[in-house]
Chain A
Amino acid sequence: MHTSSTLVLVLAVFGASLVEMVEALTLVVAAGVSRGWRSALEGAAAAVLVLAVLVLALGVPLIRYVPIDALRVIVGALLLVLGLGWLRKAILRSSGHKALHDEDKIYDETVAELRADSSGTPARPAKGRDPVGFAVAFKGVFLEGTEVVLIVVSLGAAQHRLGLAALAAAAALVLVTTVGVIVSRQLSEVPENTIKLVVGIMLSSFGVFWVGEGAGVHWPGSDLALPVLVGFFLVVYFAYTALLRTLLPAAPDAVAEEAAAT
């Protein structure tokens, strides 16, 4: 296995995990501030535990029992769907056709919802365990984390580097948790939209590469084709963004309406 593909694997998993964990942190902090920190932290920890079990339960059988070529086609297709989707969003956001992801807005909305919760439990931080806070933190971490699990399992299994992929995801989790504990608020300064673009490019590159490899296409230069694909999708991103900005500009009202609605 070339260093280039290992590097792209680590960067892709780390970047994807970073973005998803930053989004999860917003919900955990919102739950902690509104409903009490004990429940929010317990909910987040429980979700991380379930996700770790999922990585083992899905990843190990995939590596052991699925033939490598079939695995690469399935994984490649999954990564391609995900990567092209992220790349599409990045192009639409950069060209002004879609509102940027805003952690501060999501945080404010979640806190407002939790404080207005009518389930009968206290609307201010609770001292003991609060089921609403636990559920919100658990769901936030679990839903964002499931995407990370799929990326870790698919990239790790296709390259038989599940441990390395899991380690990259764990590093992102530790980083976000540490910074989150230090600042005790959502991380709106993290350039999520840029990281999503970079990860989208990497996932699309891996997707095309594994689909071709698994189906029997011989990539010139073998794994060295991966950085070339990364460069190709980067050029595609800039070209499409420029095309949309100059030839097909967005209606300002439509983007503002979408931002208000989401």
Chain B
Amino acid sequence: MTDAAVRAVRWFGRFLWDFVIGDTPELALATGVIVAVAFLLDGSEWVGATLLPLLAAGFLLASTLRGRRRAPSRSTSP
């Protein structure tokens, strides 16, 4: 492989890492869990159709809370 091709592959690898993991690794992990749960629910109808969106919403809440900027606590602010 030429140097240019190696550089291109490395660049694409870095891009994919930033794209999929980036600064929210918990969302990548959450997606892995959702995929695993979906396979466990193979053949289901209402259970899968209810549980998968709820799982996604739950993980989204956890990630959003992790990313929020905290307001100063009333007990510690002057």
Contacts and interface: CB of A to CB of B under 8 A. Distances in A.
Interface of A: 73, 76-78, 80-82, 84-85, 87-88, 91-92, 95, 97-98, 143, 146-147, 150, 204, 207-208, 211-212, 214-220, 225, 229, 232-233, 236, 240, 244, 248-251, 254-255, 258
B9 interface: no
Nearest to A236: B57
Given A77-B31, A232-B53, A88 B64 contact: yes
Contact of B39 (A215, A244, A258): A215
B20 to A, nearest CB: 5
A211 B52 contact: yes
Given A84-B60, A146-B15, A220 B34 contact: no
A254 B71 CA distance: 8
B43 interface: yes
Contact of A218 (B31, B44, B68): B44
15 contacts: A73-B38, A80-B31, A81-B31, A204-B56, A211-B35, A212-B41, A216-B39, A217-B45, A219-B45, A232-B53, A233-B56, A236-B57, A251-B72, A254-B70, A258-B69
A78 B70 contact: no
Contacts of B56: 80, 84, 204, 207-208, 233
B29 to A, nearest CB: 10
Contacts, number: 128
Contacts of A217: 38, 41-45, 48-49, 52
Give chain B's interface residue range (CB within 8 Å of chain A): 35 or more
Interface of B: 15, 19-20, 22, 24, 27-28, 30-32, 34-35, 38-39, 41-46, 48-49, 52-53, 56-57, 59-61, 63-65, 67-72
Contact of B46 (A78, A87, A95, A220): A220
A249 B67 contact: no
A240 B60 contact: yes
Given A85-B27, A217-B38, 8 more contacts: A84-B56, A85-B24, A88-B27, A91-B64, A219-B45, A219-B48, A233-B57, A251-B72
Contacts of B42: 215-217
Contacts of B68: 92, 95, 97, 244, 248, 250
A147 B72 contact: no
A258 B70 CA distance: 13
Contacts of B63: 84, 88
A36 B17 CA distance: 34
Contacts of B22: 85
B1 to A, nearest CB: 17
Contacts of A233: 53, 56-57
Q: Which 10 A-B pairs have the closest CB atoms?
A: A217-B48, A215-B38, A216-B42, A254-B69, A97-B68, A218-B45, A251-B71, A215-B39, A249-B71, A250-B69
A208 B52 contact: yes
A168 to B, nearest CB: 20
A212 B28 CA distance: 17
B60 A236 contact: yes
B19 A82 contact: yes
